[in-house]
Chain A
Amino acid sequence: MTNQLTAEILAEICKHAEPDGNPITLETKLTDLGIHPLEMADILFDLETKYGIQIETDITEAWSDLQNVGSVVEAVRALNEH
Chain B
Amino acid sequence: MNKRVVITGIGGICGLGSCAADIWAAMCDGRSAIGVLSGPSLHDITARTGCAIRNLPQHEIERKQVLSMDRFSVLAVLAAREAVQQAGLTASDKNRYRLGATVGVGVCGWEAIEQDYRAMLLHGRKRTGAFTAPKVMPGAAAGHVSMDLGLRGPVYGVTSACSSSNHAIASAVDQIRWGRADVMVAGGADAPLVWGVVKSWEAMRVLSPDTCRPFSANRQGAVLGEGAGMIVLESYDHARARGAEILAELAGAGLSADAFDIAAQTIEGPEAAIRACLADAGLVPEEVDYLNAHGTGTKPNDQIETAAIKRAFGDHAYRMSVSSTKSMHAHCLGASGALELIACVMAIRHGIVPPTANYDEPDPDCDLDVTPNVARERKVKVTLSNSFAFAGTNAVLAIKAA
Q: Interface of A with B (CB < 8 Å)?
A: 18, 34-36, 38-39, 41-42, 45, 49
Contacts and interface: CB of A to CB of B under 8 A. Distances in A.
B126 A41 contact: no
Contacts of A42: 129-131
Interface of B: 63-64, 67-68, 126-127, 129-131, 134
A36 B129 contact: no
A36 B126 contact: no
B63 A41 contact: no
A57 B9 CA distance: 46
Residue among A18, A35, A38 with most chain B CB within 10 A: A38
Contacts of B130: 38-39, 41-42, 45
A39 B126 contact: no
Contact of B126 (A18, A34, A38, A49): A49
Contacts of A41: 130
Contact of B67 (A39, A45, A49): A39
6 contacts: A34-B63, A34-B64, A36-B64, A36-B68, A36-B131, A45-B130
Given A36-B64, A38-B131, 4 more contacts: A18-B64, A36-B67, A41-B130, A42-B131
Contacts of A18: 63-64
Contacts of B68: 36, 38
A34 B66 CA distance: 13
B36 to A, nearest CB: 35
B95 to A, nearest CB: 28
Contacts, number: 24
A69 B129 CA distance: 22
A36 B63 CA distance: 10
Nearest to A43: B130
A18 B65 CA distance: 13
A41 B133 CA distance: 13
Contacts of A35: 64
A45 to B, nearest CB: 6
A75 B92 CA distance: 43
Nearest to B132: A38
Nearest to B126: A49
Contacts of A38: 68, 130-131, 134
Nearest to B134: A38
A34 B62 CA distance: 10
A18 B127 CA distance: 25
A79 B295 CA distance: 61
Contacts of B127: 45
A35 B65 CA distance: 10
Nearest to B129: A42
Q: Which 5 A-B pairs have the closest CB atoms?
A: A41-B130, A38-B130, A42-B130, A36-B64, A38-B131
B123 to A, nearest CB: 12
Nearest to A34: B64
Contact of B64 (A39, A45, A49): A39
Nearest to A46: B127
A42 B135 CA distance: 14
A50 B129 CA distance: 16
B127 to A, nearest CB: 6
Contacts of A49: 126
Nearest to A39: B67
A35 B127 CA distance: 20
B369 to A, nearest CB: 53
Nearest to A37: B130
A79 to B, nearest CB: 17
A34 B126 CA distance: 26
A52 B192 CA distance: 36
A45 B131 CA distance: 13
A33 B324 CA distance: 50
